[in-house]
Amino acid sequence: MPDKRDYTAALLERTGRLLTTEAHAEGLLPVQWEVLRYLDRANRFSLSAAALTAYLGLTKGTVSQTLNTLETKGLIRKRVDNHDRRSKRLSLTARGRRLIQKDPLNATRDALARMASQTRDELNDSLEEFLTARLILQGRKAFGQCRDCRYFAPQHEQGTPHFCRLLDEPLTANDSEAICFEQEPA
Ligand code: SF4
């Protein structure tokens, strides 16, 4: 007889399929939406193709091809990184920012809004724990939120108002909500 873990695994698989099917929207593929979302949510230390490749868990070739397609569509731009001139810094264009407002994940946000806030928070915490465990099994980084990082120093004297003790950089309130390549859970 299947145990609860089989049922939960099947629920996650079905949810994943539903989200992937819906993510063929506005002429973009699911992975192209993932890139736009990443660039919308990642902090300034995580806007390289290398960080994006680690986040997606795909090959460099696939990520490079995806970035080229999005650049041709005028949704992202690549600029030489002033801190590392061998690397390109990725960002959304104004058109990319407009398109992300029509993210197919909005339907999922709407469904979450119909849940009780406590249940929603519990679901968030459980999914975060599950995803981290799953990524660790694959030897991948979690890319959690900055405010949950062991290097995050809230209301720091050198901060704006927060501070990163790993990169020695001030962090804004918006930065604290972003995801980061270097994040290590507190
Ligand atoms: S505190 Fe952690 S998550 Fe935030 S910028 Fe520094 S390393 Fe990245």
Written as one string, the DSSP assignment of 97-158 is HHHHTT-TTHHHHHHHHTS-HHHHHHHHHHHHHHHHHHHHHTT-----BGGGBTTEETT-TT
In a domain, 139, yes or no: no
Q: Structurally, how many domains does the chain consist of?
A: 2
User: What pLDDT, on the 0 to 100 scale, is given for residue 85?
Assistant: 75
Q: Report if residue 132 sits inside a domain.
A: no
In whole numbers, what is the pLDDT of the chain averaged over residues? 94
Do 179 and 131 form a contact (C-beta atoms < 8 A)? no
Calculate mean pLDDT across residues 151-171: 96
Least confident of 31-35, 39-43, 110-114, 128-132: 128-132
* Within a domain: 49: yes
Residue 84 clears pLDDT 90, i.e. is over it = no
**Does the pLDDT at position 60 exceed 80?**
yes
Atom of ligand 1 nearest to the CA of 181: 8
Whether 87 and 8 share a structural domain: yes
Which residues, judged by CB distance below 6 Å to any ligand atom, belong to the binding site of ligand 1? 43, 45, 146, 149, 151-152, 164, 166-167, 180, 182-183
Q: In this predicted model, what pLDDT tens digit does every residue of 34-56 receive, in sequence order?
A: 999 999 999 999 999 999 999 99
Q: What pLDDT band is residue 141 in, cutting at 50, 70 and 90? A: confident
Contacts of 120 (CB under 8 A, 6+ apart): 112
* CA 124 remoteness from chain centre: 14
The Å distance, Cα 148 to ligand 1 centre, comes to 9
